[in-house]
Amino acid sequence: MRNERLHRLVMIAMLGAMAFLLMFFGEVYIPPFAEFLKYDPGDVPAVVATYTLGPGAGVAIQGIKAGLFFLSGKGSSGWIGALANFVAGAALVIGAGASQQMFERAGLRHWGWTFLSAAIGTVIMTAILIPANALFIYPLWGMKGAAAWAGALTLSTPFNLFKGLLSTSLSLAFYRRLEPFLLGRARDRVA
């Protein structure tokens, strides 16, 4: 039991560091989105962990990633950008992880259900970010009222849909291969 808990903590810490590095080195602007909206593949390790270790692990990895990125000083948006990234990432992994667990409890373990849970996570993240951006994030940057709502709907929503679908698609490509390692079963397969 203790070794399993330690293994889990080590995996979360390792994936959190990996997520930070992917965000630090992989952050890119993708046209035609607004220039201040940058994609980073740092959500991929968190989504992989969510499918193997649960949504709590995914949220912890998102926290590690956003915290380290803020402390690195690389982000031009400071703590506001780190907070927005954490809120987006946490919503994504909670939505995807909770729906995946619901499908598994219902006995639906086919890859199609996993893909559906990724799409559900993306939609939940996007829906949560509309009011979060309009009421909190954009006003912290000085955009208020109708302009904040317009920005949340026309600038952020298409980007968040793109970001969620790309990150979850990349995650689905890797998570089954990494699952034995993350769960500590890789040693059992070799032995």
Q: Where are the domains of the chain?
A: 2-185
* DSSP letter assigned to residue 155: I
In the predicted structure, residue 97 carries a pLDDT above the cut 90: yes
Could you give the CA distance from residue 97 to residue 50 in angstroms, rounded to a whole number? 6
pLDDT band at 190, cuts 50/70/90? very low
pLDDT, mean of residues 35-61: 93
pLDDT of amino acid 186: 58
Does the pLDDT of residue 84 top 50, yes or no? yes
Cis ω before 55 (30° cut-off from 0): no
- Residue 103: pLDDT band (50, 70, 90) is very high
CATH 2.60.120.10 assigned to domain 2-185? The reply is no
What pLDDT is stored for residue 78 in this prediction?
A: 78
Whole-number Å distance between alpha carbons of 63 and 156: 21
Residue 67 has pLDDT above 70, yes or no: yes
Mean predicted confidence (pLDDT) in 176-191: 65
Tell me what the mean pLDDT of segment 55-70 comes to.
Answer: 95
| Closest-CA residue to 41 (of 171, 167, 175) | 167
User: What stretches of 63-137 adopt beta strand conformation (E)?
Assistant: none
pLDDT cut 70: percent of the chain above it: 94
Token readout for 171 is: 């995650």
Give the pLDDT confidence of 141-181 residue by residue, as tens digits.
Answer: 889 999 999 999 999 999 999 999 999 999 988 877 777 77
Question: pTM for the complete prediction?
Answer: 0.89
Q: In the structure encoding, which two tokens stand for residue 20, read together?
A: 């930070």
